[in-house]
Structure 1
Amino acid sequence: MMICRGIRGAITVDANDRELILEATRKLLALIIRLNGIQPKDIASVIFTTSPDLNAEYPALAARQLGWWDAPLLCGHEMSVPHGLPLCIRILIHWNTERDPEKIHHVYLEKATALRPDKAKLPPIDESELESWIHQQLSLWDDRNRRLDQSGA
């Protein structure tokens, strides 16, 4: 039976820079997608938050770039807590799945591993294959945007 389950993840960047935010978010999402076998049609919604020091780009754009064209996406800032992790992008994916909660891979990368040290260890992943997949998705995004521009949509 399909149930809506949450998948969490977080990553940090080195600066409040548009490309760094998009690149990091794409990497985080790609790992979550690949490790859990997520299909865009099974996404109920996604919430992205950033620490208050990040505002150069909406991290949700990275999800669109990876093919989540129809998923409801929302961005916001985390609370400004004095001991909060700076330069951090967090994600909560609401995923319709039959997978048991203990079999879901939550992904914490870079300095964000401090948020959930118990989730920091990931199964082996082929980094070059992951990068290839991301570039393939970006090509599809570019093609889609060209078609939309040509159609006047």
Structure 2
Amino acid sequence: MIRGIRGATTVQKNEEKEMLEETKKMIEQMAVVNQVSPDQIASVLISVTPDLDAAFPAKALRLINGWKYVPVMCMPEISVPGSLPQCIRVMMTVNTELGQEEVEHVYLNEAVKLRPDLADKA
């Protein structure tokens, strides 16, 4: 079965090091809690809010052992007034036996505000 796993995190500064560290932490947690290995991943889409342009967060996947061939793409998030700033969002499409309600979405830092109903599940 193909499922989407969502993730989101925030950073305090528009700096490459922090963006990559926080993205890596989020991606690794998404994989661990959902028992996903790189060969089960169809693709990973990453969006960033307009205030983040210091780095491509997709680069963080290349820092994870075994993720060399996972297809990943970055894009800008739409600018909505009042939306959460300095936010990195992920949609990981995976092959899994987990049911839709069993998938654990990962929200870190200030991003827990986006979906507190799902963040509490992790």
- With the shorter chain as reference, the TM-score category is over 0.9
The alignment covers a number of residue pairs equal to 121
Q: Normalising by structure 1, what TM-score?
A: 0.76
TM-superposition CA deviations, 1:100-130 (whole Å, max 9, x none)? 111111000111011001012254xxxxxxx
Distance 1:68 1:56 in 2: 22
Shifted more, 7-16 versus 59-68: the winner is: 59-68
Paired residue secondary structure (2:33): helix
Show the counterpart of 1:43. Answer: 41
- Uncovered stretches (5+) of structure 2, i.e. residues with no partner: none
Amino acid at match of 1:75: C
Show the counterpart of 2:112. Answer: 113
- Uncovered stretches (5+) of structure 1, i.e. residues with no partner: 124-153
Max Rg structure: 1
Distance 1:52 1:59 in 2: 13
TM-superposition CA deviations, 1:35-92 (whole Å, max 9, x none)? 1111100000010000000011111111121131111111001001111110000000
The answer to which structure, 1 or 2, has the higher relative contact order (CA under 8 A, 6+ apart) is 2
Amino acid at match of 2:96: T
**What is the 5 A alignment of 1:3-152?**
3-66=1-64, 67-123=66-122
Paired residue secondary structure (1:63): helix
Identical aligned residues as a percent: 45
Query: By percentage of residues, which structure has more helix?
Result: 1
